[in-house]
Amino acid sequence: MSRFARNRRVFFVEEPVFDSISSGLQTKICPLSQVCVVTPHLDTEEGRHQKIEALLADFARENGIEDPVVWYYTPMALEFFPKSITPSAIVYDCMDELSMFRGAPNQMQVLERYLMRNSDLVFTGGVSLFEAKRSMHPSVYPFPSGVDLQHFAQARGLSEDFKEMASMPHPRLGYAGVIDERLDLALIDEVAAKRPEWQIVMIGPVVKISPDSLPNRPNIHWLGMKDYADLPKYFATWDAGIMPFALNDATRFISPTKTPEYLSAGLPVVSTAIRDVVRPYGELGLAKIANSADEFIDAAEHVMNVDMCLKWRQRADEFLKSISWDSVWERMDQLIAGVAAGRRPQNREEKQGIMPAVTSHAHQQAAHV
């Protein structure tokens, strides 16, 4: 969204907060990107969709929002966005199979089918998700997770330990991301038990699972959520980046952003057999794939004890150039511009009432208008 904000106004509509005596919208402009974050504040749950629809209709009118590009990260936004807004293009950015996540609303799949019928473009968060969705729409494009190359490459030039890492012994195997039902907690526990001299560093918020379910060992460090700006400083102190994902419904179609982030930081990568990690990273020799705790240990020992040669680094860097966020944004922007330029009047009639997405702490959802 920060890249779209270079040449468009971007309004990022969040989920409502129930804390107000009277309903209203709170806006905050990001000083770095100029993205405007719009948060509905409501008094009660009753009539929430109608209240948000009215608030956003007034907001669009007051801000001169006409013929916007409407960007969905979730089909659930179909329930509330103003029917009075006519999009110039409609994008469904299908980052995950959200219906398979824990606590997914029952109507998710019905609304997604409607959204697929009415979208101009469907972007998927990985190749496996593309393969699952491509028969549902004529214009589906895979966009695996991109990476901010310059940001994470900072880790390669840092030598001093960062804050709470300073007193931690090596070797250190690190994970950075949401900690939820997608992680294989038993695998983490077994690896830590079999290699007590290894330090397992886990960064990220705990979501949808009880903190009491996290394995508790002296060599497993749950550090909580960290600032994005500080991640390269943590990565610089690790010996390997790990992705100990469970193989379940919630991970069937994921394309972890952390794969290219670890590689950009110069870290070797060990992952369980997530399809979009196996292809292409495993096949290209850019990540080691493990199917059990013992295999995970063997893979980690290999990448930490065998010098990562210059040729490996060069291959990784060459691959990463093709998936920078700038290159992802440029391809998306071209597709959207083509739709907006060729929109016929009858199509605009048909699609009036399609509504952009809301955000979710769990699903990283957004609105782009």
Count of other CB atoms within 10 angstroms of residue 189: 18
Can you read off the two tokens belonging to residue 42?
């409501």
CA angle in degrees (0–180, nearest 5) for 335-340-341: 100
User: For residues 237 and 155, what is the distance between their CA atoms, to the nearest angstrom?
Assistant: 8
- The set of residues, in sequence order, having a beta carbon less than 8 Å from that of 343 and lying 6+ positions away, is 88, 89, 120
Within the chain, all domains assigned CATH 3.40.50.2000 are found at 4-144+324-350, 149-321
Q: Look at the domain 149-321 and name its fold.
A: Rossmann fold (3.40.50)
The pairing of beta strand 240-243 with beta strand 269-272: parallel
- Judge if pTM exceeds 0.85: no
CA-atom Rg of the chain in angstroms: 22
The C-alpha atoms of residue 365 and residue 13 are separated, in whole angstroms, by 9
Q: Token match 């974050």: residue?
A: 37
What angle, 0 to 180 degrees and rounded to 10, lies between the N-to-C axes of helices 185-194 and 293-305? Answer: 60
By the 8 A CB rule, do 286 and 318 touch? no
Q: How far apart are CA 260 and CA 10, in angstroms?
A: 26
Dmax (CA) of the chain: 66
Answer whether 199's CB lies under 8 Å from 228's CB: no
> With respect to CATH, is domain 4-144+324-350 assigned 1.10.1060.10?
no
Look up residue 365 and give its amino acid: Q
Helix-then-strand count for the chain, H and E = 12, 14
- DSSP class of residue 131? H
DSSP classification of residue 66: -
Per-residue pLDDT of the chain (369 residues; tens, 9 = 90+): 999 999 999 999 998 999 988 889 999 999 989 999 999 999 988 899 999 999 999 999 999 998 999 999 888 888 888 888 889 999 999 887 766 666 667 787 888 888 989 999 999 988 888 888 888 889 999 988 889 999 999 999 887 777 788 889 999 999 999 999 999 999 999 999 999 999 999 999 999 899 999 999 999 999 999 999 999 999 999 999 999 999 988 888 888 889 999 999 999 999 999 988 998 899 999 999 999 999 999 999 999 987 566 677 788 888 898 888 888 999 999 999 999 887 644 444 333 333 344 443 333 333 333
